[in-house]
Amino acid sequence: MAIFPLSSNFEGDFVIQLVVVDDAATMDEVASACAVHSVNRRVAPRPGKVMRVRRHSTGEVFPRDLQVKSAGLMPTETIDVIFSDI
């Protein structure tokens, strides 16, 4: 396990946050770590929605159980955290 910095562009937020996660974290865990800095601060919660992580540069939505170390992300790369129905 190793720390891995990502730039979080959270849907509805105007601030991009640098968030440090574990490289063994799943995308669901990454979304939760990013939400700490945005939801209930500058972004309203969205009950009934699922937070999903996607690659900012391509729009590729990552599987929820994919680990950071297997996603091919670069340190400090920007990810989008979006609200989804699935």
Is 42 in contact with 17 (CB distance < 8 Å)?
A: no
Predicted structure pTM score: 0.95
Share of the chain above pLDDT 70, in %: 100
* Domains of the chain and CATH, by start: 3-84 (3.10.20.270)
Nearest to 45 by CA among 2, 10, 8, 4: 10
User: pLDDT digits over 21-49, tens only?
Assistant: 999 999 999 999 999 999 999 999 999 99
Q: What is the pLDDT of residue 86?
A: 87
**Containing H/E element for 54?**
strand 50-55
